[in-house]
Structure 1
Amino acid sequence: MESKFTNTDEANALIYGNHGNPFSFLGFHEAVQGKKKGLLVRVFKPGTESVVLIERAKNKRHSMDKIADDGLYELFFPRCKNRFAYQLELSWPGGNTEVVEDAYRFGSLISDFDLQLWGEGNHSRAYEVLGAHVKEVDGVQGVHFVVCAPSASRVSVVGPFNNWDGRLYPMRKLFDQGLWELFVPAMESGAVYKYEIKAQGNPLPFLKADPYGFASEKRPKTASIVSDISGFSWDDDEWVKARDQRFEKPMSIYEVHLGSWKRHLSTNEFYTYRELAESLIPYVKDLGYTHIELLPISEHPYDPSWGYQVTGYYAPTSRFGSPEDFAFFVNECHKNDIGVILDWVPAHFTKDDHGLRQFDGTALYEHEDPRQGEHKDWGTKIFNFGRSEVKNFLISNAVFWIDKYHIDGLRVDAVASMLYLDYSREEGQWVPNKYGGRENLEAIDFLKRFNEVVHQEFPGVITLAEESTSWPLVSKPTYVGGLGFDYKWNMGWMNDTLKYFETDPIYRRYHHNQLTFSFIYAFTENFVLPFSHDEVVHMKRSMLDKMPGDVWQKFANLRALYTYMMGHPGKKLLFMGGEFGQWSEWNEAKELNWSLTGMDKHSGLLKMTADLNKLYQTERALHEVDFDWAGFEWIDFSDVDNSILAFIRQAKDKEEFIVCVYNFTPVFHRSYVFGVPEAGVYKTIFNSDSEYYGGSNKGLDTVQSVPGEWHGKPHHIQIEVPPLSGVMMKLVK
């Protein structure tokens, strides 16, 4: 049947999937037939034999005219001025019928304010607009899809619901903002979908997962899943309201890779988020940690990437369960007074075809120039931080995890790679900034903005930078020229300390400065002292195996190391397995060697870790003044020949202090003199050489000070110093 209203070329563009503006063609449109003005309705339902339009208010039926064998129909309503709600009765071959809503009768659902924020690059909650949202519109339940693809010529929602046919649900383009949207009636949470995108100059359409999708299929499948994440019943209000991450509070972090902490032994399958809540949380609580830091749990396709090559920034990985399951895990952490920190990866993203790379046929999220847009070391793409789409995407993502999943902190991965344009590049492989320098000005602005937004909207939440260079003021506020992070990982301390401890004690006298050097810069930033996952992989050996000597000395060295970390100014972090002395390197493909915890030396180390954490939390001198010289005072840093260090940690109240003594050789000193600031009885409150932990049980329980200057102090004590040990003593009034 010929149509007096429809242009054949435009109809063919729709039928063959080339129409980039379907709302200009489908649904209601003003039309004229002769002298009669009215409204024309077009629908496209391939494979149907006939379509009847039903006026919902009047329940009046109208047979539509089929104007193309491919399933294109139209119907003219003369003298009709007002659009009305309608349904479509579809008749299929074989006599089957169904009544459906027409997606193309609904107008745009995006507010002008959201469009303005989006266009400015200032939308910090873009996830409330973009992605797939279950909604009710005009009394009709469905899903509202919005995606950014400014250079696409056509974008469609596809999935099993339309046999992955990109001709059926082409989206409306909001041309000024590069957004595409469509409300799909009758769709529900749980629907699997992707976006089919047709790009200029590309003859074939391609499929992409939703960058703002709240859930994903379990790998190796790659589609997004409609998920209503608002249904979980949180009961951590008291925790969130009281959340206060002031610097004087203790912070001892247990770093975890969920996929290899524990697995089901019979199948080697992952624990779910809910199973981890039952096992991991009480374990961490018993050990006295204040926080759990999770290696990235955003959706990622490749297990050995550990989560650092992300495809689904807004989706908790389906490896361990649903979004609701992850919310349950966080909620249970909070109910047990444990904060949750996420590893967050804005520095780079994976190249997988279904991800962000060349999303709309162009470099929408990354730089086009590989000298700016690719990390050769990691085989990943680099975000173009100068684009408003990228700023909206990443700032909103940071806010999303805190807002929707009550996350307490974000540890930003690979900050150094963001700050420097020449990071891991040779001359000629990078592009200078507009001033000719190596600083990535757009990334610097992004990091500052990220920290400002997070701290403004969520005052109790912390941000941490993994930054491995001497970039200044990383953990200082942006208003004084800093990047705005709360904390910076102290990579220099970590590297120097591990090199020292890997050295045979007989040679440590030549490396004493590797311990003392950190105190030169210890208070220039708000430091976290990390022994992280990166230090126990790739032939670096486990924490226990790094230690020199026989088995006894290895354990003694490690106990001394952990005691030294707890005494050193700065917050603390230890990767899983280190707490009980795993012998083998970390392997993401299998669980930790839990059988070791039943052996004496390993169980002793585990007990010591728990006691250290609890001591750290209860003794204010060990955590109250971590970032100022007021909390630290040397006793002796010069005994190179004996590899001994001694210092004082002080609380805000100077009357409350702890004397920390460390012996990093196997030599037992029966009588060693240290200066102390006050007279009285000094009691040993911790000794890593205790037999309870597997040590030789050397050292004195109490000692009376003696008047007389020593080490510049007015009094002194004469004590036993155990071999390869750390001892903490407190004045007893």
Structure 2
Amino acid sequence: MATVIPHSLFTNFDIDLFKSGKHFRLYEKLGAHLITVDGVEGVYFAVWAPTAQSVSVVGDFNFWTFGDHQLEVRWDSSGIWEGFIPNIKKGTIYKYKIQSNNDGIITEKADPFAFYCEKPPYTASVVWDLEYKWKDSKWMEKRQDQNGLGKPFSVYEIHLGSWKRHGEDNRFLTYLEFAEDLVNYITETGFTHVEFMPIMEYPYDPSWGYQLVGYFAPTSRFGNPQEFMFLVDQLHKAGIGVILDWVPSHFPDDAHGLGFFDGSNLYEHPDRRKGYHPDWKSLVFNYGRNEVRSFLISNALFWLDYYHADALRVDAVASMLYLDYSRKEGEWEPNIYGGRENLETISFLKDFNEAVYSNYEGVQTIAEESTSFPMVSRPTSIGGLGFGMKWMMGWMHDTLEYFQKDTVYRKYHQNDLTFSMTYMFSENFMLPLSHDEVVYGKKSIAGRMPGDEWQKFANLRLLYGYMFMHPGTKLLFMGSEFGQSSEWNFEGSLDWHLLQYPIHEGVKKLITDLNYLYKNQPALYEKQFSPEGFEWINYSDHQNAVISFIRKGNNSKEDIIVVCNFTQITRENYRIGVPRNGKLTEILNSDAKVYGGSGVFNVNEILIEALPYDGRDYSAALILAPLSVSVFRIK
């Protein structure tokens, strides 16, 4: 047997924290770490495998020979195997070969804490360091002000593998190429944040990254860890926040992954009713096992720590919260109180959010949660789950359902639009038009709009204008910002050639101007989660399919008035009530010719009259362009 020197990075306190589910820096201990012991350089390996009879490190340095480099199990019943192997260098490829006490089963696994992985389809881990000299201090120092709940969040959701590809051979761009092309594009279009669909290492491209194996490694498809750090660095230097999709809800059963890791159900719940996800044919974490909680929360903090992420969007929270999610009667067991809520998950999510917010200033967590589970984005101190924001799936569904209807029928369905305001302020909502809405036969967002080409794009511009004026933060999936015609295809690039056509360039121009307006009009963000920030003018004009409302900030003199016309009929002398005397100035009209519209707009300033209307003492007569959003300021 080759030399493995006994060595440990763990203290007794570390072990106590690990066993109690409270060790949130496990990435500093478990995994492969380049260190020097007694003047000799090498790698310290540590892996959690409590059911193991023996654990060997195999790799290109020992010709993948089982038993040559065996780790030693700790004496403290933690189940951690560890040891120092001298003369191993950065870039060494390795796995753990584990012989189990369970009938001698042998598994060969990638390192759950590896910082870097082989490029798929290869599956081994790579010894690596995380040394990098960050240059984003200005962003990090002011992040608490830039990234707060009372600030603009206009998020560009991106799948790195299909945003843009190299033309001739359809190859992926690299992190370094993204650091130029993507940063310039986000700067041009004005989004405040970019959200990366999972960049943690995953084996199967069609999973889009939502079936993770390398939880601590950015995918090697686009480069190495330092190159991804450089991409984040460049985004921050440009004043753009970075949101990472995080997937603690399930993981694949690939042979080299977390499943059946040491010959036992180590990471997954042993009860298949809780440990297997029928929709995704994947395994579900055992949220009641303390060591698994330490693993997951450590992983969340790792991306905030080493990669300077500004927010984590947590995927598929609904599937975690309910024991009967996608399960038929008899396929699930109620909790101790007879309910369907997963109490272990609820406890875990609260611990996760408390750990994030107590350790990092100015960060956010965002829940993709599609049910009416209460207080998702409320503090744990008052019984909430502790997230900063929650996706508003009801708004997304109702709004798209409404917009797909022919304009003739919209007067019968106005409640689909106005209903969102009855529960808008029960959570801190983000309005998503995400990747899930442009796949599996749903068509692109533009493709779902009714009418001829002109009406489709007028409807699209109206949808985006309405979205940006509606309370809540915003998220738009890549390609939607220029009216991608076809569904999203993860195997190729977006249809960038469409921007040669004025109607597509016009949509992009509108998104750019909406982002500018959102960021520069405090009424649109200062009270975006408060009922004090919104007031209806008229939501009941079903016959004309028109709604009007006021957005409010801290200064009433900066209030914004919004009027939406959901039919293709131009409405002249359309009167609305206004809160005070003065003049109205139109500051944005989605029907402007520069956006591809017909160019109907309100000329100059509109005099406000002392004529009661809509329950107010003052009113004004407007021209409403067809299928448009008009935005006004009072002077």
Asked whether the two chains share a fold, i.e. TM above 0.5, the reply is yes
Taking the TM superposition and a 5 Å limit, the aligned residue runs for 1:693-732 are: 693-701=595-603, 702-732=605-635
Note if 1:428 corresponds to 2:330: yes
Paired with 1:246 and 1:121, the residues of 2 have a C-alpha distance of 29
Which shifted more, 541-550 or 234-243? 234-243
Q: CA-to-partner distance for each residue in 1:355-388, whole Å, 9 max, x for gaps?
A: 0000010000001222111111101100000011
* Aligned residue number for residue 180 of structure 1: 81
Following superposition, the deviation at residue 594 of structure 1 comes to 0.2
Which protein is bigger by CA-based radius of gyration? 1
Distance 1:537 1:114 in 2: 45
Once the two structures are TM-superposed, the CA of residue 107 in structure 1 deviates from its matched residue by 3.6
The change in CA–CA distance for 1:553 and 1:152 in structure 2 (over 3 A counts) is same
Q: Does 1:228 align with 2:126?
A: no
The question of 1:257 aligning with 2:159 is answered: yes
Look up the SS of the partner of 1:386 in the other structure: coil
Alignment correspondent of 1:16:
none
Aligned to 1:28: none
In structure 1, which of residues 119, 129, 134 is the aligned counterpart of residue 29 of structure 2? 129
Please show how residues 3-152 of structure 1 align to structure 2 within 5 Å: 44-45=1-2, 102-104=3-5, 106-152=6-52
Secondary structure in 1 matching 2:152? coil
Single out whichever of 432-441 and 529-538 deviates more from structure 2.
Answer: 432-441
Shift of 1:166: 1.6
Task: Choose from 565, 583, 586 the match for 2:485.
Answer: 583
Cα separation, 1, equivalents of 2:164 and 2:297: 33
- The alpha-carbon deviation at position 205 of structure 1 amounts to 2.2
Which SS does the other structure have where 1:508 is aligned?
helix
Q: Give the Å deviation of 1:138.
A: 1.1
SS in 2 for 1:181: strand
Within a 5 Å distance, the mapping from 1:395-414 to structure 2 comes to 395-414=297-316
- Contact in 1 for aligned 2:106/2:263 (Cα 8 Å): no
4+ aligned runs moved over 4 Å, structure 1: none
CA distance in 2, matches of 1:155, 1:391: 23
CA shift digits 1:679-700 (9 cap, x unpaired): 1111100000001101011121
Aligned residue for 1:267, secondary structure, equals: coil
- CA deviations 1:282-305 (Å, max 9, x no partner) are 101111100000000000000010
Kept after mapping to 1: 8 A contact 2:51/2:102: no
Q: 1:96 maps to which residue?
A: none
Q: Which amino acid aligns with 1:154?
A: S
- Asked if 1:647 corresponds to 2:543, the answer is no
Is this contact kept in 1: 2:4–2:70, CA < 8 A?
A: no
Q: Using the alignment, how far apart are the partners of 1:109 and 1:299 within structure 2? A: 26
Q: Aligned-pair distance for 1:110?
A: 2.1
Residue 321 of structure 2 aligns with which residue?
419
Alpha-carbon distance in 2 for matches of 1:718, 1:452: 51
Larger fraction in strand: 1
Deviation at 1:711, TM superposition (A): 0.4
After TM superposition, give the deviation of residue 639 of structure 1 in Å: 0.4
Aligned residue number for residue 282 of structure 1:
184
Mapped to 2, the partners of 1:641 and 1:609 lie a distance apart of 29
Q: Which residue of 2 aligns with 1:12?
A: none
Amino acid at match of 1:173: V
Q: CA deviation at 1:714?
A: 1.3
Match of 1:271 among 166, 173, 176: 173
- Name the amino acid aligned to 1:521: Y
Residues 20, 291 of structure 2: 8 Å contact kept: no
Find the counterpart in structure 2 of residue 307 from structure 1: 209
Residue 691 of structure 1 aligns with an amino acid whose one-letter code is: K
One-letter amino acid of the structure 2 residue matched with residue 381 of structure 1: L
d(CA) in 1 for partners of 2:426, 2:342: 23
How many correspondences in the alignment?
631
**Structure 2 contact 252–283 (Cα < 8 Å) conserved:** yes
The alignment's C-alpha RMSD in Å is: 0.9
- CA deviations 1:185-243 (Å, max 9, x no partner) are 011111100000001244452210000111000001000001101x2110111211211
- Alpha-carbon displacement from aligned partner over 1:46-88 (angstroms, at most 9, x marks no partner): xxxxxxxxxxxxxxxxxxxxxxxxxxxxxxxxxxxxxxxxxxx
The residue type equivalent to 2:281 in the other structure is G
- In structure 1, what is the equivalent of residue 352 of structure 2? 450
Matches within 5 A, 1:320-469: 320-469=222-371
Measured in 2, the distance between the counterparts of 1:260 and 1:547 equals 24
Question: Match for 1:132: what amino acid?
Answer: A
Distance 1:292 1:550 in 2: 32
Deviations 1:641-694 (A, max 9, x none): 111000000111122201100000001111100110111111100000001101
Label 1:204 to 1:650 Cα distance change in 2 as closer, same or farther (>3 A): closer
Question: Is 1:522 aligned with 2:421?
Answer: no
**Is contact 2:267-2:292 (8 Å) kept?**
yes
Q: Deviations over 1:77-100 (max 9, x none)?
A: xxxxxxxxxxxxxxxxxxxxxxxx
Q: Secondary structure at the match of 2:33?
A: strand
Q: Deviations over 1:545-566 (max 9, x none)?
A: 0000000000000000000001
| AA at the equivalent of 2:109 | K
Query: CA-to-partner distance for each residue in 1:426-475, whole Å, 9 max, x for gaps?
Result: 10011221222111011000000000000000021100000000000000
d(CA) in 2 for partners of 1:204, 1:426: 33
Q: Does 1:620 align with 2:620?
A: no
Structure 2 residue matching 1:709: 3-state secondary structure: coil
The match for 1:218 among 105, 119, 143 is 119
Contact 2:7–2:44 (Cα < 8 Å) also in 1: no
| In structure 1, C-alpha distance between the alignment counterparts of 2:41 and 2:83, rounded to whole Å | 13
Q: CA deviation at 1:246?
A: 2.1
Q: Secondary structure at the match of 1:707?
A: coil
Of the structure 1 ranges 166-175 and 345-354, higher mean CA displacement relative to structure 2 is found in 166-175
Structure 1 counterpart of 2:98: 197
**TM-score by structure 2 length?**
0.98
Counterpart of 1:536 (choices 406, 431, 438) is 438
What corresponds to 2:110 in structure 1?
A: 209
Please list the CA deviations of residues 578-605 of structure 1 after superposition, one character each: whole Å capped at 9, or x if unmatched: 0000100000000000000111100011
1:654 & 1:511 partners in 2: Cα distance? Answer: 32
- Is 1:161 matched with 2:61? yes
Cα distance in 1 between the residues matched to 2:475 and 2:563: 21
Q: Distance in 2 between matches of 1:119 and 1:703?
A: 68
The alignment partner of 1:228 has SS state of coil
1:76 aligned partner: none
Offset, 1:730 = 0.4
